[in-house]
Structure 1
Amino acid sequence: MEALYPGAAVADVVGGELDRRQAESGQAIDRIGTTDEIAQAVLWLSGPGGIG
Structure 2
Amino acid sequence: MDDFPNRPLKAQGSSPPVKKSRIDEPCQIEHILLRPNIGSVEKVTKQMWVYDSQWF
TM bucket normalised to smaller: under 0.3
Scaled by the length of structure 2, the TM-score of the pair is 0.26
**Between Structure 1 and Structure 2, which shows a larger proportion of helix residues?**
1
Structure possessing the higher radius of gyration over alpha carbons: 2
Tell me the TM-score normalised to structure 1 length: 0.27
